[in-house]
Amino acid sequence: MLREIVLDTETTGTDAKGGDRLIEIGCVELLNHIQTGKTFHCYVNPQRPVSEGAFGVHGLSDAFLSDRPVFADVVDAFRDFCADSRLVIHNAPFDVGFLNMEFARLGAAAPPAIDLEAVVDTLLMARRKHPGAANNLDALCSRYGIDTTRRTKHGALLDAQILAEVYMELLGGKQTSLGLAPAEAAPAGPVPVPGADGAPAPGPRIVRPRLTPAERERHEAFLATLGPNAIWRTYLGEDGGA
């Protein structure tokens, strides 16, 4: 059973090394790429002001965050939820950078730093699958027909839930869930035989040629250049037909 945690964060700004802090963490549990409904979510008092630009993105104010727990008070619950599961993050260096910076502030009591190489970065997946296209979360939702009408502002838990849907599409869509449902029992009684009870038995499948006359003519002209002993004729037959 593959367990993964889709994770998103919100922050006071964009510069973890410059003193910006985490203010929200949202996590969604996946088993074999399917959301189980189990989540982890918390707001964090950053003990510093939220930048104007960041506030415009997520709408989390200094007053709202002022009575929330500090990171040291939520880190154990966060670590227990994630356990040793693989993390799935969009633009992973950003979120991992902030998490590792928060861990570093805890000193000796901190969990081990997150290894970026062990994280699934859905932004890199999207860039490989859609090179040259916009691959932010909104663009991917639009591309895959994922409903984002609930998303008037960025929010860590909601964005993690949406990212879980995007991740499934990047993996191949709803086909990833095949094989998880229990197999249906075979119907009782004899198995019907094709052609019984007056029903016509299926005949051989007819595969119609897809070559146009001009394409067939060019193909036969090419075969003629190979000579009578060409190995291709062993597979194509004496007449050299396609």
Q: Which residues are annotated as a binding site?
A: 8, 10, 58, 159
Active-site pick, 33, 41, 130, 154:
154
Whether 154 sits among the annotated catalytic residues: the reply is yes
**Residues 177/33, Cβ–Cβ less than 8 Å:** yes
Q: Other CB atoms closer than 10 Å to residue 163's CB: what's the count?
A: 24
C-alpha to C-alpha distances, 59 to 65, 152, 198, 239, nearest whole angstrom: 11, 10, 70, 75
Place of tokens 């000796």: 108
Residues annotated within the binding site for a divalent metal cation are 8, 10, 159
Pairing of strands 22-31, 3-11: antiparallel
For residue 43, give every residue at least 6 positions away whose Cβ sits within 8 Å of its Cβ, in sequence order, or none.
23, 24, 60, 64, 65, 68
For the annotated binding site for substrate, the residues are 8, 10, 58, 159
Give residue 153's Cα distance to chain centre.
21
Token look-up 């993690």 returns 160
How many whole angstroms separate alpha carbon 20 and alpha carbon 73? 18
| Contact call for residues 45 and 21 (beta carbons, < 8 A) | no
Active site residue ranges = 154
